Structure 1
Amino acid sequence: MQFFTSDTHFFHKDLLGDNDFAPRPFANVDEMNQTIIDNWNARVAPGDTVYHLGDIALYFTRPASKSDEAVFEVLSQLNGNLELIKGNHDSRALFKHLAANNYVDHGEDKFKFHDVGALIKYDHRQYYMTHYPMMLGIVNQIINLHGHIHHYAVPVKENINVGVDTPEQRYLDQKLPFGTPFSTSEIEQMGQSFATSNSA
């Protein structure tokens, strides 16, 4: 199966607590990281594919290689093969570290990398996946899946925010536990519910 997420911001302590941009009600980053890992693995099976649309982590150490190692250890605990699209907080050094330590998981590389975006087909439509929201104009059967804007949304049906703190979960029948990647059926439900609620 295929899943989608963005803006996990592992280790990002400045997001903890209540704030206007990306509130995270956790006592510390270890609790936040483990919550995302647990909820991710409750949904994603080994061998599934997860498209992560950027801003994997925000963690700075000296030497910097220690933070890259810590992020690698967290990502290695996540089920599925990860298609990583570079976000504005993802360094090339991190991607190089993940590439250098890549390994085969259920017949596929654990990590695959995309600098700008990726395109897949699903049920007679295309998902164009980027970190930043893209204004595609009026298009047929193309949906831009993105992150970056946390609890904000682009008010057009061609854009769906798949970040862990997206407000677009309100279009689902049931809110998912924090950090749970979205399935293709949930992406479709978000898009259809948005279009229906804004067609009046």
Structure 2
Amino acid sequence: MNFFIADTHFFHTDLLGQNDFAPRLFDSVEAMDEALIAAWNARVDDNDVVYHLGDIAMNPEAMPSEGEVAALLARLNGRIVFIKGNHDYNSRFKYLAAHDPGWHGQPRYQFHEVGTIIKDDHTQFIMTHYPLMLGITSQTLNLHGHIHHSMVPLAENINVGVDAPERDLLVTPPAWGSPLNASEINEISTAKRRLLAKMKEK
């Protein structure tokens, strides 16, 4: 099964507590990271693929080493396809590639500088870190991250980030920090389309 997430920001102490960007109500960065790991592993098993749409880890005060990031990622289930975010670096991708633990006889990690596309049933998922303005389109969704607590007012744009407000459109939202599956992406898309249509009526 495929899953989708963005903006995990492992190690990022500045996000702790109330803030205007991405409030994460934990007493420590260790508690936040453990919650993210637990939520990920509760949904993803070793045969699944997770598309991580950027901003893996950071901390302006004391950047985690590449070894620390690799050790944390090693605790996450499944294969991971990374799309480069504004807080990701080529040096990190190179380190992860050089220390790839493998996955069923192939590399565990895959990397994309800008984005990638997959097809889910009859819908095309264009996955990027930054939201795209697709214009007139059908059966195409842009899955993205980057804007954390904000929602692009277009039905085709789905923020899959950890802090994304689109998650609240699900009838039964998964635990905080959980990667989303394709069924949930489609449910969000339908609910967002209805929400935006109601807002236009007002």
TM-score (norm 2): 0.94
Corresponding residue for 2:173? 175
**Residue 102 of structure 1: which of 100, 103, 109 is its match?**
100
- Superposed CA RMSD in Å reads 1.5
Corresponding residue for 2:115? 117
Check the 8 A contact 1:81/1:108 in 2, yes or no: no
| CA displacement 1:12-47 (0-9 Å, x = unmatched) | 111111101100111111111111001100000111
Check the 8 A contact 2:127/2:143 in 1, yes or no: yes
Distance 1:34 1:198 in 2: 35
Check the 8 A contact 2:54/2:86 in 1, yes or no: yes
Segments of 5+ residues of structure 2 without an aligned counterpart are: none
How many residue pairs get aligned? The number is 198
Tell me the percent identity: 51
Corresponding residue for 1:89? 87
Cα distance, 1:69–1:61 mapped onto 2, change above 3 Å: farther
Corresponding residue for 1:156? 154
**Does 1:23 find its partner at 2:23?**
yes
- Compute the displacement of 1:186 (Å): 0.2
- Compute the displacement of 1:198 (Å): 2.5
Distance 1:54 1:144 in 2: 14
Corresponding residue for 2:11? 11
Give the 3-state SS of the residue equivalent to 1:82 in structure 2: strand
| CA displacement 1:74-133 (0-9 Å, x = unmatched) | 101000100000000001111110010012123432110000000001111100000000
Cα distance, 1:70–1:60 mapped onto 2, change above 3 Å: farther
Segments of 5+ residues of structure 1 without an aligned counterpart are: none
- Compute the displacement of 1:61 (Å): 8.5
Give the 3-state SS of the residue equivalent to 1:194 in structure 2: helix
Counterpart amino acid of 1:147? G
Corresponding residue for 2:145? 147
Check the 8 A contact 1:46/1:106 in 2, yes or no: no
Counterpart amino acid of 1:57? A
TM-score (norm 1): 0.95
Counterpart amino acid of 1:192? T
